[in-house]
């Protein structure tokens, strides 16, 4: 398992480009299984999660190739309806196979994904949605078994205790596009990644109204065809770069940072008096050389609220604000694995139920720390840039799951960072 050795204190300077969105690619790779025609995907990031997803669709029977950097071609002439545990356990997002297999084969057996370090991640809403579409759904031998012979359009309320569901919406949309009749999904996820998937499905011939809003109306069609689709830029990577640049007191132009997808995060940064400006529609420039951060209160919520996938990064940045910040997690109330590690670097953070109370400004000091999930790892890198001395972040395979070439990009901006290869 590789580690990242980071020497804090370097001021980042230059330009960085955001890659394609991981959380759009995963359902989009699954969506290619809805047709026997070829789909061409562009602006696909080079991430281990994407490679896993490519392996998974290949195992399901698709022909998969990666003819050029960022380009993937997928054609699923033949398709198995069974996604075994060995495949699904590689990555939770493989639950996104459920919708396409159900729609195309009218039957599916997808292993339940199992536990996750960021908290309970049930799939009851995915099952509720499929049942509403007239499918028989049983849990047997650890599998979600779907019989979709009688599938047809329906009115579905897809909200749960924590609001809408991102991959749940993806699954029900992917099932409904081939279900006879009209489906209306209420409280659908509005995340830009779901809108991007809907755009791709429309390119394949699906009829979807309301993408990006909480009400989706889908008119089922009998067949979908191939398409070419360019994946949208990753808003979470963009937000992470803003936090990295701020923590390193940098002057950085972040290309591919779309203001329209970062509204709630930018609002928090404005309140924190973090000095950034938007440049055109798709770049943000930050000059943090003389920044004095103010503390903030922020609460994670489904889009367009503050994203849970930027909560850890904000916690790390707020250790550098002058005063007490309160960051509350309403999507995954246990998603605070970064807190004890940040405290090992000198942060003053206490947990109070689903909130982290961060007293700043603290002098951080480099230490050996352990990455536990993707966004917690990003928080540790942010803290390492602000810290005095060296931080060794181990288990960075988590970072490689979601950040395309983060060590190279950091080094190009002037960070003192070295990937230490571990033969194990």
Q: Out of 45, 168, 192, 275, name the contact with ligand EPU by CB under 6 A.
A: 168
Tell me how far, at minimum, the Cβ of 126 lies from ligand EPU, in Å. Answer: 5
Tell me how far, at minimum, the Cβ of 242 lies from ligand EPU, in Å. Answer: 17
Tell me how far, at minimum, the Cβ of 162 lies from ligand EPU, in Å. Answer: 3
Site string for ligand EPU, 309-338 (x = CB under 6 A): x---------------------xx------
The smaller minimum CB distance to ligand EPU, of residues 123 and 293, is found at 123
Tell me: does residue 265 bind ligand EPU (CB under 6 A).
no
Give 11: exposed, middle or buried? Use CB within 10 Å, 0-12, 13-18, 19+.
middle
Element (H, E) at 398: helix 397-402
The stretch near ligand EPU (CB under 6 A) out of 54-62, 68-76, 136-144, 154-162 is 154-162
Contact 369, 395 (CB under 8 A): no
Tell me: does residue 123 bind ligand EPU (CB under 6 A).
yes
Strand 251-255 versus strand 13-17 pairing type: parallel
Contact 4, 418 (CB under 8 A): yes
Site string for ligand EPU, 61-100 (x = CB under 6 A): --------------------------------x-------
Catalytic annotation on 315? Answer: no
Contact 306, 300 (CB under 8 A): yes
Which tokens go with 378? Answer: 């990003």
Tell me how far, at minimum, the Cβ of 201 lies from ligand EPU, in Å. Answer: 16
DSSP 160: B
Tell me: does residue 162 bind ligand EPU (CB under 6 A).
yes
The stretch near ligand EPU (CB under 6 A) out of 60-68, 103-111, 160-168, 358-366 is 160-168
How many Cα atoms within 13 Å fall on the side-chain side of residue 246? 30
Across-strand partners of 285? Answer: 253, 277
The smaller minimum CB distance to ligand EPU, of residues 26 and 57, is found at 26
Q: How far is CA 275 from CA 250, 285, 293, 311, 349, in A?
A: 11, 9, 9, 19, 24
Tell me how far, at minimum, the Cβ of 158 lies from ligand EPU, in Å. Answer: 9
Rg (CA), the chain: 21
Omega before residue 33 within 30° of 0, cis: no
Look at phi and psi of residue 38 and say left if phi exceeds 0, alpha if psi is from -120 to 50, else beta. beta
The stretch near ligand EPU (CB under 6 A) out of 103-111, 166-174, 199-207, 271-279 is 166-174
The smaller minimum CB distance to ligand EPU, of residues 133 and 166, is found at 166
Tell me how far, at minimum, the Cβ of 318 lies from ligand EPU, in Å. Answer: 19
Catalytic, out of 25, 39, 96, 116: 116
Give 141: exposed, middle or buried? Use CB within 10 Å, 0-12, 13-18, 19+.
exposed
Question: Residue 189 and residue 304: Cα distance in Å, rounded?
Answer: 10
Tell me: does residue 121 bind ligand EPU (CB under 6 A).
yes
The smaller minimum CB distance to ligand EPU, of residues 94 and 227, is found at 94
Tell me: does residue 23 bind ligand EPU (CB under 6 A).
yes
Site string for ligand EPU, 374-403 (x = CB under 6 A): xx--------------------------x-
Tell me: does residue 125 bind ligand EPU (CB under 6 A).
yes
Tell me: does residue 15 bind ligand EPU (CB under 6 A).
no
Contact 7, 196 (CB under 8 A): no
Q: For residue 17, which of 247, 288, 238, 240 has the smallest C-alpha distance?
A: 238
Catalytic residues: 116
Residues near ligand EPU (CB under 6 A): 23, 26, 93, 120-126, 160-162, 165-168, 308-309, 331-332, 374-375, 402
């Amino acid at each position: 398992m590789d580690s990242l050795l980071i020497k804090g204190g370097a001021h980042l300077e230059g330009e960085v480009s955001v890659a394609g969105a991981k959380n759009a690619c995963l359902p989009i790779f699954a969506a290619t299984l809805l047709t026997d025609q070829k789909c061409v995907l562009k602006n696909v990031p080079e991430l281990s999660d994407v490679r896993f997803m490519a392996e998974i669709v290949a195992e399901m029977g698709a022909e998969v190739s990666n003819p050029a950097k960022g380009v993937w071609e997928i054609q699923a002439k033949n398709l198995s309806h069974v996604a075994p545990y060995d495949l699904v356990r590689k990555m939770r997002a493989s639950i996104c196979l459920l919708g396409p297999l159900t729609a195309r084969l009218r039957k599916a057996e997808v292993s339940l994904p199992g536990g996750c370090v960021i908290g309970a991640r049930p799939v009851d809403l995915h099952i509720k949605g499929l049942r509403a579409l007239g499918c028989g759904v049983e849990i047997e031998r650890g599998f979600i078994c779907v019989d979709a012979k009688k599938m047809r359009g329906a009115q579905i309320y897809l909200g749960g205790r924590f609001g809408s569901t991102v991959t749940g919406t993806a699954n029900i949309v992917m099932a409904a596009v081939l279900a006879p009749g009209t489906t209306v999904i209420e409280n659908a996820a509005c995340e830009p990644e779901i809108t991007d998937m809907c755009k791709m499905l429309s390119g394949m011939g699906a009829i979807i109204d309301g993408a990006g809003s909480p009400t989706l109306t889908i008119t089922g069609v009998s067949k979908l065809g191939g398409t070419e689709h360019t994946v949208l830029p990753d808003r979470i990577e963009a937000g992470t770069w803003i936090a990295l640049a701020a923590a390193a007191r940098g002057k950085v132009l972040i290309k591919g940072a779309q203001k329209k997808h970062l509204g709630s995060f930018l609002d928090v940064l404005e309140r924190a008096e973090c000095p950034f400006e938007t440049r055109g529609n798709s770049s943000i420039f930050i000059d943090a050389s003389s920044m004095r951060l103010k503390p903030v209160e922020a609460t994670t919520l489904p889009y367009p609220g503050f994203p849970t996938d930027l909560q850890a990064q904000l916690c790390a940045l707020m250790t550098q604000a002058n005063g007490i910040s309160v960051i509350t997690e309403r999507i995954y109330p246990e998603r605070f694995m970064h807190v004890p590690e940040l405290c090992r670097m000198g942060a003053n953070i206490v947990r109070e139920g689903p909130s982290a109370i961060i007293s700043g400004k603290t002098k951080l000091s480099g230490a050996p720390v352990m990455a536990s999930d993707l966004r917690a790892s990003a928080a540790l890198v942010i803290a390492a840039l602000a810290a005095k001395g060296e931080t060794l972040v181990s288990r960075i395979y988590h970072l490689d799951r979601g950040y395309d070439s983060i060590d190279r990009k950091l080094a190009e901006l002037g960070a003192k960072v070295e990937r230490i290869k571990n033969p194990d």
